[in-house]
Chain A
Amino acid sequence: MEFILFTLLNGLSYGLLLFMLSSGLTLIFSMMGVLNFAHASFYMLGAYFAYSISVNLSFWVAFLAAPAIVAGLGAAVERYGLRHVHKYGHAAELLFTFGLSYIVVELVQVTWGRATVQYSIPAELDGPLFTLYGTSFPIYRGFMMLVASLMMLSIYLALTRTRVGLVVQAALTHPSMVEALGHNVPRVFTLVFAGGCGLAALAGVIGGDAFVTEPGMAATVGSIIFVVVVVGGLGSLAGALIASLLIGMVQTFAVSLDYSVLTLLTALGIQETALRGSVLRITVAQMAPMLPYMLLVLVLILRPKGLMGTREG
């Protein structure tokens, strides 16, 4: 019972962090049709800026300032980079963001070094939130979940209840009509791109100290967030949420399953010693890091548009 509860909470907090990361990516895609390969780089930049600011000032300044700085960088990238590349089509945009991700990694290594930086959790958030049956749940994980939930709520409200949000939604489907009505659609694009980057940076601020802040961090989350947006359906926020939680849960629960195909066969009464050393003996726990990718392949075969996707192909 206790084990299930804590694994559930761990899975939930990890899933929500994944959502913070992938929501920006999926927003940008749905708006601009750009699959931003540099998205995880903005997550990394968020963590590194937060590290530098929190060392010199405080975590709370970093919490507000780092996403703002990264959003500013995102706006500049869109305004002076992507917008020029846009006219050459999607392939050019894709390659542009792909190249950008490499440049960011190199810049980070030049600025902050190649090793892990000591970005640690602020003292006031360090400690147990509650203790149940002798296992404690850290405050910081609760904080992560809170921030992610608040972020989710504010995106939802901003998109559905504000004027800007309505313009954004309209520009999503009918950009020329919106432009004809006198709205500055390119500026809306810049806004969305900057916002998406800011969200990734926010995830970096709270993910960097919970885990590790190092130049390889973008590469490690980069692949998983693509899984999230593809499984959820490209461009669907609700899909991204479901997929994030699903992957968070699958990965955490899988770790606890020490069963393999061989265990199943043995349970069925099949005793085959020749199979002992084969791949069948690999347990679900050992496969845990691979499962999201298997899920990706499965979804692409069975439902190519993703769980909540609307676009075909």
Chain B
Amino acid sequence: MSSSYQRTSLAGSAVICVTLLSTPALAETVRVAFIDPLSGTFAALGQNELQSFHAMAARANQEKWAGDNQLEFVGFDNQASPQISLVQLKNAIDQGYRYITQANGSGAALALIDAINKHNERNPGKEVMFLNHGAVDPSLTNDKCSFWHFGFDANADMKSQVLINHLATNPAIKKVYIINQDYAAGHQFTRGEKEYLKSARADLELVGEDLVPLGKVKDFSPYIAKIKASGADSVVTGNWGTDLSLLIKAAKEAGLNANFYTYYANLKGAPIAMGADGADRVRYVGIWNINNETFAGEDIATSFKQKYNDDFTWMVSYSIVAMFSKAIKESGSTDPVKVGFALEGMKATSLNGQVEMRASDHQLLQPLYIGVWTKADGKTVKYDQEGTGYGWKTEKKYEASASTQPTTCAMKRPPRS
């Protein structure tokens, strides 16, 4: 009687022990605050990006990329303003968030990392990490670099270098016009583009440059008239959101037959503004193209389209979710300090191939694609965009070495605890 009781209790405690071992103590939901515009001019872009993160997190949770931990991305509307971004950061921290992600506007990104640095200094043990999904000001991984910031998109200089060098390979191009938005990354685009124009080919001439206020201009026809008058055969622009689609729309209306070398024409809004008119003339440089050499990521794009009736373009969400999950799994922790050290120097395979998070400045090194707007043909251009019947043909894929640049980052790291 007593021995059988002992046996059952022993067996019982053994079961309990096994259950305890098999469910690690840290199976938790890791919440990431997505601080980006979800209302106003740039809302369409922000919503598409947030949905991309939702789709990636759902996949990661289902396939247990982060072990038993679940990832969750929650939208915090910053209305594209640095001030409101800080308010939303405070909100997120108050609600116990340890991770944030942001992209649209380097001004906001610089404000955020500044606030995060201060917060982390004052609140050891409660650090917050910034997973940057697209703010491209190079200073974020140079003079303003921080252990708490990881840049998963290629920065403005890296993209400019590839874009301008690619432009220079077309001998027909002689006169270039630069138009960018008047804010942190826009200035960096202008500076970088001018630098690379000088070094790329001797006979390339810069015939004009403009800075337009961010998200304020509704009528771009005066700018187009100016570009036309300058005699430019190609326009280089880092504009995004409505600033790009309205620019293209105005160019189309005025019959400006210039080449467009862009950074963001593959994002929501621009394809529909171009339509058939942009064919063979509009290009973009980006970290991914759905019509890539192996159509890597087409399954993701297809299920995304089914679920949200929208095109999947924000591939950086894949890189972030994959590498962030891997870091959580490898470090066995959801603490930003441990996850941060796991991310440093991490090599991984993303949808664009081999990528590496450079340890010295937290800049992701990765291949870049040049896509050209082409009529969908079911072969090289298998997928069109926004129902236009046109899509991006991969004109060239540049390996990571083509855009790898030195860094001036002198990073201060927290103690490894």
Contacts and interface: CB of A to CB of B under 8 A. Distances in A.
Contacts of A289: 213, 216-217
Report, nearest first, the 7 A-B pairs whose CB atoms are least far apart.
Answer: A136-B255, A211-B218, A255-B222, A114-B39, A138-B253, A115-B44, A3-B229
B242 interface: yes
Contacts of A253: 222
A52 interface: no
B82 interface: no
Given A215-B39, A289-B213, 8 more contacts: A14-B219, A114-B38, A116-B43, A116-B44, A131-B255, A136-B253, A212-B41, A256-B229
Interface string A123-153: 0000010010011111011000000000000
A135 B210 contact: no
A141 B253 CA distance: 9
Contact of B254 (A109, A138, A286): A138
B321 interface: no
B225 interface: yes
B40 A216 contact: yes
A69 B331 CA distance: 61
Contacts of B40: 114, 214-216
Contacts of A263: none
Contact of A214 (B41, B210, B223, B254): B41
Interface of B: 38-41, 43-44, 47, 182, 208, 210-211, 213, 216-219, 221-223, 225-226, 228-229, 242, 246, 253-256, 269, 272
B211 A2 contact: no
A289 B221 CA distance: 14
Contacts of A109: 39
Interface of chain B, main secondary structure: mixed
A7 B222 CA distance: 6
A134 B269 CA distance: 27
B39 A128 contact: no
A7 B219 CA distance: 12
A250 B228 CA distance: 19
Contacts of A60: none
A90 B286 CA distance: 55
Interface in A77-118: 109, 114-116, 118
A2 B222 contact: no
Contacts of A258: 208
A138 B38 CA distance: 32
12 contacts: A6-B221, A14-B219, A131-B255, A134-B228, A134-B255, A211-B246, A212-B218, A212-B242, A214-B41, A215-B40, A251-B222, A289-B217
A114 B218 CA distance: 18
A3 B255 CA distance: 14
B222 to A, nearest CB: 4
A5 B38 CA distance: 40
Q: How large is the interface on A (under 10, 10 to 19, 20 to 34, 35 or more residues)?
A: 35 or more
Contacts of B254: 6, 135-138
Interface string A201-231: 0000000001110111100100000000000
Contact of A255 (B226, B253, B255): B226
Contacts of A30: none
Contacts of A134: 228, 255
Nearest to B46: A115
B239 to A, nearest CB: 14
Given A215-B39, A215-B40, A255-B226, A118 B272 contact: yes
A166 B41 CA distance: 43
Contact of B225 (A7, A118, A217): A7
Interface in A1-50: 2-3, 6-7, 10-11, 14
B386 to A, nearest CB: 9
A252 interface: yes
Given A116-B242, A285-B210, A286-B211, A128 B255 contact: yes
Given A116-B242, A255-B226, A211 B38 contact: no
A220 B219 CA distance: 12
A294 B226 CA distance: 23
A255 B219 CA distance: 11
A254 to B, nearest CB: 8
Contacts of B242: 116, 212, 214
B211 to A, nearest CB: 6
B221 A10 contact: yes
A137 B219 CA distance: 14
A256 B39 contact: no
Contact of B43 (A114, A217, A252, A256): A114
A2 B38 CA distance: 41
A88 to B, nearest CB: 33
Nearest to A140: B253
